[in-house]
C-alpha cells in the first residue's frame, strides 16, 4: 500500500496531540490503532539550557526562549500556544522559583508523560493498538522541545521513560483502570512469574503490598493485579501524594522488570512532593576500564529517593561529558534499595579527568568520585 503521507487516515489513526496532556488522557482517551506521530514538548537539563542561551536570558521565560522553539503564542503574545500545557504541567509541582527548579520539575513531567504514551499502547496491545511513534527523538538545533536527548547529546528523563516503557519484558500500571499488567514482547511464554506491588505514603510508610504468581503468553499483555480494589482499601488513610513500586521476577527470583510511579488523588496536583522528606544516597564508583565504569548506589534511609540522576562532568571545561550511555537514569529508590548503573563512556572520547555526580528530587547533589582519563 502506498501512503501519500505518514499520517494518512486510514490506515493510520492520525497524528498528535503534540501538547503535554495528563497521564490519564493517553490511557483513557488516546491509545487506539497505529499513531505515527505523537509527542510532547520536553525541556532539556539545566546544563544544556545554560549552553544554549545567555545567562541573563535563562529566566524568566522570554523572547529568547521563542528562538529555541518555546512557543507560548503568536508573535509577542504570551498565550497558551504549543507549550502552554507543558508550563501548566510543570507548575503542577509548584510554581518554579528559577531556571534550576524549572528544569528539575520539567524532568518529572518528561518522565511521567513519555512513559505514559508508550505504556498506554502497551496496555491495549493487539486490542485496537498496534503501534505508536514519537515526534520526535531529538532536535536539529539547540531547542526546548522534542528532547528525548538534546542537541548536546545529553539524554533527558523522556529518553529513559521511553526506554523503560519499551523494555521487552515489562510491568506497568494503568492510572485509568488501576490494573497492573505484564507486557511480554518476546516470542517466549513466561511461566511462574511473580508480580509485586508496594504502595507508599508520602512519609515513606507502606500503605499496602500485593503480589501474585501468573503466566504470561508470548507477545501479549496480561493483567495480573488491581491496586485499589472497590471496598478493599481505606483510601482515606492513603496520603494525597503517594508512590507505587512494581517488580516482576521469574520463578527463580531474578528481577525481570521494575517500575516506579508518583501519583496524586487529584490530577496534576503534585505540590505535596515539595514536602517529601530529604533523602540520602551513598555510592561507590568502580574501576574505569574498557571505556566504562559501574556505579553502585544505595538508599540507606527509610525515605524514598525520587528521580535519581547520574551525570559525568568534564573537570576542565565544566561541561557534561557526552554522549554517555547509562544503563538507567532518572530512577527512584525505595527505602533500603540499591541499584548498580553501568556508564559507557567509549563514544565520548574523554581527554580530561571527569567527576561522577549524583542528584535527585529530594537529595543534595553529591560527588561520588573522579576518574583520570590517563588511567581508563
Instruction: Give the C-alpha separation, 249 to 233, whole Å.
Output: 25
Domain span at 230: 169-272
Considering the domain architecture, whether residues 27 and 158 belong to the same structural domain is answered as yes
Tell me: pLDDT of 376 over 70. Answer: no
Mean residue pLDDT across the chain: 94
Tell me: pLDDT of 71 over 90. Answer: no
Considering the domain architecture, whether residues 328 and 345 belong to the same structural domain is answered as yes
Higher pLDDT, 67 or 81: 67
Considering the domain architecture, whether residues 320 and 254 belong to the same structural domain is answered as no
Considering the domain architecture, whether residues 180 and 110 belong to the same structural domain is answered as no
Considering the domain architecture, whether residues 173 and 160 belong to the same structural domain is answered as no
The reply to whether 136 falls in a domain is yes
The reply to whether 10 falls in a domain is no
The reply to whether 89 falls in a domain is yes
CATH number for the domain spanning 318: value is 2.60.40.10
Tell me: pLDDT of 226 over 50. Answer: yes
CATH number for the domain spanning 110: value is 3.20.20.80
Tell me: pLDDT of 232 over 90. Answer: no
pLDDT in tens, 174-186: 999 999 999 999 9
Instruction: Give the C-alpha separation, 157 to 163, whole Å.
Output: 10
Domain boundary among 133, 165, 197: 165
Considering the domain architecture, whether residues 239 and 296 belong to the same structural domain is answered as no
The reply to whether 17 falls in a domain is no
pLDDT in tens, 127-164: 999 999 999 999 999 999 989 999 999 999 999 999 99
At residue 73 the predicted structure's pLDDT band, cuts being 50, 70 and 90, is low
The reply to whether 4 falls in a domain is no
Tell me: pLDDT of 76 over 60. Answer: no
Domain boundary among 272, 294, 316: 272
Residues 354-361 have a mean pLDDT of 98
- CB-based contacts of 41, cutoff 8 Å, min separation 6: 18, 19, 20, 70, 82, 83, 86, 144, 145, 146
- CA dist list (Å): 3 to 6, 68, 131, 132, 294: 7, 32, 17, 17, 46
Considering the domain architecture, whether residues 116 and 240 belong to the same structural domain is answered as no
Query: How many domains does the structure of the chain reveal?
Result: 3
Chain centre to alpha carbon of residue 289: 29
Tell me: pLDDT of 238 over 80. Answer: yes
Given this model, what pLDDT does residue 274 score?
97
Given this model, what pLDDT does residue 120 score?
98
Given this model, what pLDDT does residue 375 score?
65
Given this model, what pLDDT does residue 374 score?
61
Tell me: pLDDT of 356 over 80. Answer: yes
Considering the domain architecture, whether residues 45 and 95 belong to the same structural domain is answered as yes
Given this model, what pLDDT does residue 234 score?
84
At residue 3 the predicted structure's pLDDT band, cuts being 50, 70 and 90, is confident
Given this model, what pLDDT does residue 373 score?
73
Residues 339-356 have a mean pLDDT of 95
Considering the domain architecture, whether residues 252 and 365 belong to the same structural domain is answered as no
Count Cβ neighbours within 10 Å for each residue of 72-97 and write b for 16 or more, e otherwise: beeeeeeeebbbbbbbebbbbbeebe
Tell me: pLDDT of 77 over 60. Answer: no
Proportion of the chain above pLDDT 70, given as a percent: 97
pTM score of the predicted model: 0.95
Q: Mean pLDDT lowest for which of 69-78, 115-124, 206-215, 247-256?
A: 69-78
The reply to whether 141 falls in a domain is yes
Considering the domain architecture, whether residues 206 and 149 belong to the same structural domain is answered as no
Considering the domain architecture, whether residues 256 and 294 belong to the same structural domain is answered as no
Domain boundary among 272, 305, 333: 272
The reply to whether 140 falls in a domain is yes
Considering the domain architecture, whether residues 154 and 58 belong to the same structural domain is answered as yes
Instruction: Give the C-alpha separation, 270 to 90, whole Å.
Output: 9
pLDDT in tens, 242-291: 999 999 999 999 999 999 999 999 999 999 999 999 999 999 999 988 89
Instruction: Give the C-alpha separation, 228 to 217, whole Å.
Output: 25
Given this model, what pLDDT does residue 75 score?
43
* C-alpha grid cell, residue 27: 490511557
The reply to whether 2 falls in a domain is no
Amino acid at each position: 500500500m502506498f501512503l501519500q503521507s505518514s499520517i494518512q487516515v486510514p490506515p493510520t489513526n492520525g497524528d498528535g496531540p503534540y501538547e503535554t496532556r495528563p497521564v490519564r488522557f493517553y490511557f483513557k482517551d488516546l491509545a487506539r490503532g497505529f499513531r505515527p506521530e505523537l509527542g510532547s514538548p520536553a525541556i532539556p537539563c539545566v546544563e544544556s539550557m545554560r549552553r544554549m542561551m545567555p545567562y541573563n536570558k535563562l529566566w524568566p521565560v522570554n523572547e529568547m526562549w521563542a528562538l529555541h522553539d518555546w512557543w507560548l503564542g503568536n508573535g509577542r503574545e504570551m498565550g497558551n500556544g504549543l507549550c502552554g500545557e507543558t508550563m501548566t504541567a510543570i507548575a503542577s509541582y509548584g510554581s518554579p522559583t528559577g531556571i534550576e527548579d524549572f528544569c528539575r520539575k520539567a524532568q518529572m513531567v518528561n518522565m511521567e508523560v513519555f512513559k505514559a504514551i508508550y505504556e498506554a499502547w502497551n496496555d491495549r496491545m493487539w486490542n485496537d493498538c498496534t503501534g505508536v511513534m514519537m515526534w520526535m527523538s531529538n532536535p536539529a538545533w539547540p531547542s526546548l522541545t522534542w528532547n528525548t536527548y538534546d542537541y548536546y547529546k545529553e539524554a533527558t528523563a523522556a529518553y529513559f521513560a521511553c526506554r523503560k516503557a519499551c523494555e521487552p519484558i515489562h510491568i506497568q500500571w494503568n492510572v485509568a483502570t488501576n490494573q497492573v499488567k505484564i507486557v511480554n514482547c518476546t516470542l517466549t511464554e513466561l511461566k511462574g512469574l511473580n508480580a509485586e506491588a508496594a504502595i507508599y505514603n508520602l512519609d515513606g510508610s507502606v500503605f499496602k503490598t500485593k503480589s501474585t504468581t501468573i503466566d504470561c503468553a508470548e507477545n501479549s499483555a496480561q493483567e495480573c493485579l488491581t491496586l485499589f480494589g472497590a471496598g478493599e482499601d481505606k483510601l482515606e488513610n492513603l496520603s494525597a501524594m503517594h508512590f507505587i513500586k512494581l517488580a516482576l521476577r521469574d520463578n527463580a527470583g531474578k528481577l525481570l522488570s521494575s517500575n516506579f510511579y508518583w501519583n496524586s488523588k487529584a490530577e496534576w496536583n503534585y505540590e505535596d512532593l515539595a514536602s517529601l522528606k530529604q533523602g540520602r544516597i551513598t555510592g561507590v564508583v568502580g574501576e574505569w576500564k574498557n571505556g566504562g565504569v559501574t556505579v553502585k548506589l544505595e538508599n540507606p534511609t527509610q525515605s524514598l529517593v525520587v528521580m535519581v540522576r547520574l551525570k559525568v562532568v568534564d573537570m576542565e571545561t565544566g561541561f557534561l561529558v557526552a554522549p554517555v550511555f547509562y544503563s538507567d537514569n532518572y530512577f527512584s529508590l525505595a527505602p533500603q534499595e540499591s541499584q548498580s548503573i553501568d556508564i559507557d563512556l567509549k563514544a565520548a572520547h574523554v581527554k580530561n579527568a571527569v567527576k561522577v555526580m549524583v542528584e535527585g528530587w529530594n537529595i543534595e547533589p553529591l560527588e561520588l568520585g573522579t576518574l583520570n582519563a590517563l588511567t581508563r
